[in-house]
């Protein structure tokens, strides 16, 4: 039974298909009528007048011929669904005529012989039931054929009046009722099937449209993301160079400024440049994390050198703010990516300094079985319980006055990068906080079993400034700087010179080699090459490093500075045994990287000297 809630448009399409089925079955209907007529004439050949039978057969065939013309007209017209009911009624008229002709035969040619009467009943019921699947397709056609064909027959049998014929008529009436009910339900099932087909077609159409819309949205998102990446790459390329040079100039100026009146101004400039470089670095870190461009390299390492660098960089900042920062020494070794772990801890310590107004901060590491937990504990403003679930989201910060989250006044990316880097390294990140009393951020990672000689950190009161440490490390070092940007060359030369190094600056390898040969005799020993990865006219800083190493005859430690953050750039630098730094490079990072290279070169030479 068709649902009352069925949409009229779907029902109309279903009726249209039913009508099309009727017209498509004309040949089968004609064959059924012809065979039935032939069978009836055979049964009644000696019981009815031949002229009456021939006239009846001719009427049957004429009706089917007219319906054949109607079927051809239907095919030519190919009517729309809205016109299907009209064509259905045309066909139903032909069905009613056919049924009426069979009813006429039942009355006009009803035989006197009981056996022939039985054969007539079987023949007419057989034709009716045999064509049930053909006529039940469309209800008007079904009722138009069945009722005119069987009601006259049942009436004629009952007209005989005796008990047997009355009982036979009753049975025939029951069969007729069954036929009507069965045909009605068959039509409902067929109609519902067609409606469901159109519903499914509409659903598939909607799903296809939604899929196309989703695909279009995905393509638009990919295009937007690609455009964002292209913009970031283009913008970062243009921003890195001046920011990189400005940071180096600021660091050099901080070393050279001696007048007490000038030093606060220089310190403010230097702090602003470092803050700008840090914000720029956070944006780049987040972009690389989103793009999946960071690939950790887990190795066993001692924690103490990393903690010593944190002490050197942050204890002076904490002291200037009136905050006690304690970084406890340790003998523990861990398995991690040294660069990425240092970024995590720097962000955590920097975050603790930002939100601690009084009291202190403690950084320490403890062993827990086969793991090491590094804690950064502060007595800052803390985080309200309702906000602790969102503190690691991008662009979310804490209101220093109320301990509540706020947006703006900074990027709010530090803790978001900590969360993503911890997940990338598979280090467990935990946080506990009490509003108004402070917070503890913990990073838990695997403990390494190997042991290295311990280098005790200097006491907190003897921590050297960046300029003092660098002046010791770079004193009388010879450094070759290769860059096609005059501002960067000037900034590098100024910074290294303030640290006591001797600088040879050039725009490419040939100019650097010419300066080395100009000194006469053998070229002086070179301690470090600092080169930009991409030079003018498509030249490569790595090729310049290889050329200078070949000229000098030994593997000079090399730092490659580049704005290219791709995996290809990192692979190129690693293949040339050079350390890659991404612009903008802080003076401290430049100094630390150079010291690491010299320590590595010294360790490589030690077996040969033994």
Each residue of 266-321: pLDDT tens digit?
A: 666 666 666 666 666 666 666 666 666 567 888 898 999 889 888 887 888 888 88
Looking at domain 464-610, which of 3.40.50.2300, 1.10.10.60, 3.30.460.10, 3.40.50.1980 is its CATH number?
3.40.50.2300
Asked whether residue 399 carries a pLDDT value surpassing 70, the answer given is no
Rounded CA-CA distance 387/377 in Å is 18
pLDDT above 70 covers a percentage of the chain that reads 79
Cα atoms in the Cβ-side hemisphere of radius 13 Å centred on 262: 8
Nearest to 147 by CA among 202, 92, 80, 215: 92
Residue 404 predicted with pLDDT over 60: no
pTM assigned to the model: 0.47
Cβ count near 205 (within 10 Å): 10
Q: Where residue 232 falls among pLDDT bands split at 50, 70, 90?
A: low
Domain range annotation of the chain: 8-210, 295-463, 464-610
Identify the CATH assignment for 295-463 out of 3.40.50.620, 1.10.150.20, 3.40.50.300, 3.30.565.10: 3.30.565.10
How confident is the model over 423-433, as a mean pLDDT? Answer: 91
**Top-ranked range on mean pLDDT: pick from 136-145, 444-453, 540-549:** 540-549
In the block, residue with structure tokens 């005859």: 553
Q: What is the pLDDT of residue 363?
A: 95
pLDDT confidence of residue 453: 45
Domain 295-463 shares a fold with domain 464-610: no
Q: What CA dihedral angle connects 541, 545, 548 and 553, to 10 degrees?
A: -170
Pick 321 or 439 by higher pLDDT. Answer: 439
What's the distance, Cα to Cα, between the start and end of the chain in Å?
98
As given in the structure block, the two tokens for residue 102 are 């069979």
The answer to whether residues 504 and 512 touch, using CB atoms and an 8 Å cutoff, is yes
Pairing of strands 360-368, 579-582: unpaired
More confident residue, 60 or 403: 60
- Span 478-495, pLDDT tens digits: 999 998 888 888 888 888
pLDDT for residue 6 is more than 70: no
At which residue do the structure tokens 């660069």 appear?
A: 339
3-state helix, strand, coil in the chain (%, to 5): 65, 15, 25
Q: Is 438 helix (H, G, I), strand (E, B) or coil?
A: strand
DSSP 284-329: HHHHHHHHT------EEEESHHHHHHHHHHHHHHHHHTT-EEEE--
* 362, β-bridge pairs: 326, 377
Gap between the Cα atoms of 230 and 246, Å rounded: 24
Which pLDDT value is given to residue 225? 66
Residue 106 has pLDDT above 80, yes or no: yes
Q: Is the peptide bond before 498 cis (omega within 30 degrees of 0)?
A: no
pLDDT of residue 375: 95
**What confidence score (pLDDT) does residue 406 get?**
36
Cβ neighbourhood burial of 82 (10 Å; 0-12, 13-18, 19+) = exposed
- Determine which of 3-12, 434-443, 455-464 has the lowest per-residue pLDDT on average: 455-464
Dihedral of the alpha carbons of 579, 582, 583, 589, in degrees to the nearest 10 = -60
Question: Are 334 and 447 in contact, with CB atoms under 8 Å apart?
Answer: yes
């Amino acid at each position: 039974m068709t649902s009352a809630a069925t949409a009229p448009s779907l029902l109309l399409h279903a009726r249209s298909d039913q009508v099309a089925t009727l017209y498509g079955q004309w040949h089968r209907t004609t064959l059924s009528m012809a065979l039935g007529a032939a069978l009836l004439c055979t049964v009644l050949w000696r019981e009815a007048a031949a002229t009456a039978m021939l006239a009846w057969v001719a009427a049957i065939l004429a009706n089917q011929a007219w319906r054949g013309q109607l079927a051809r007209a239907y095919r030519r017209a190919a009517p729309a669904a809205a016109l299907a009911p009209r064509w259905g009624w045309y066909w139903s008229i032909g069905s009613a005529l056919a049924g009426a002709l069979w009813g006429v035969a039942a009355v006009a040619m009803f035989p006197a012989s009981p056996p022939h009467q039985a054969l007539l009943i079987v023949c007419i019921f057989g034709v009716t039931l045999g064509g049930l699947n053909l006529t039940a397709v469309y209800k008007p056609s079904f009722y138009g054929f069945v009722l005119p064909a069987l009601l006259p027959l049942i009436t004629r049998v009952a007209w005989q009046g005796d008990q047997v014929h009355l009982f036979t008529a009753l049975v025939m009436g029951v069969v007729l009722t069954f036929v009507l009910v069965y045909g009605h339900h068959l039509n409902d099932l067929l109609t519902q099937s067609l409606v469901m087909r159109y519903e499914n077609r509409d659903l598939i159409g909607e799903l296809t449209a939604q899929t196309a819309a989703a695909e279009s949205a995905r393509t638009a998102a990919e295009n937007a993301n690609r455009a964002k990446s292209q913009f970031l790459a283009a913008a970062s390329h243009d921003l890195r160079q001046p920011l990189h040079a400005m940071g180096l100039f600021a660091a050099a100026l901080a070393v050279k400024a001696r007048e007490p009146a000038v030093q606060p101004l220089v310190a403010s400039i230097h702090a602003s440049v470092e803050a700008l470089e840090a914000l720029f670095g956070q944006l780049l870190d987040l972009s690389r994390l989103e793009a999946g461009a960071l690939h950790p390299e887990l190795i066993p390492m001692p924690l103490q050198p990393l903690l010593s660098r944190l002490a050197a960089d942050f204890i002076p900042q904490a002291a200037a703010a009136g905050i006690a920062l304690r970084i406890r020494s340790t003998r523990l070794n861990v398995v991690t990516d040294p660069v990425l772990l240092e970024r995590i801890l720097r962000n955590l310590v920097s975050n603790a300094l930002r939100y601690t107004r009084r009291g202190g901060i403690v950084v320490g590491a403890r062993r827990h079985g086969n793991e090491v937990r590094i804690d950064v504990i502060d007595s800052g403003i803390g985080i309200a319980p309702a906000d602790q679930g969102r503190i690691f989201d991008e662009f979310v910060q804490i209101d220093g006055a109320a301990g509540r989250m706020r947006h703006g006044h900074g990027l709010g990316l530090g803790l978001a990068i900590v969360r993503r880097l911890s997940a990338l390294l598979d280090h467990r990140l935990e946080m506990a906080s009490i509003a108004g009393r402070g917070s503890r951020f913990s990073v838990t990672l695997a403990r390494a079993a190997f042991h290295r000689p311990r280098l005790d950190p200097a006491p907190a009161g003897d921590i050297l400034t960046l300029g003092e440490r660098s002046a010791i490390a770079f004193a009388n070092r010879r450094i070759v700087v290769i860059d096609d940007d005059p501002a960067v060359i000037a900034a590098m030369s100024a910074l290294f010179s303030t640290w006591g190094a001797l600088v040879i600056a050039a725009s490419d390898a040939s100019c650097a080699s010419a300066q080395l040969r100009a000194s006469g005799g053998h070229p002086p020993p070179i301690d470090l090459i600092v080169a930009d990865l991409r030079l003018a006219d498509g030249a490569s800083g790595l090729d310049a490093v290889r050329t200078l190493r070949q000229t000098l005859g030994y593997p000079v430690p090399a730092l490659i500075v580049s704005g290219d953050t791709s995996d290809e750039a990192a692979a190129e630098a690693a293949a040339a045994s050079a350390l890659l730094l991404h612009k903008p490079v802080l003076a401290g990072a430049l100094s630390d990287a150079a010291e690491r290279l010299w320590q590595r070169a010294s360790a490589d030479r030690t077996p040969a000297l033994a």
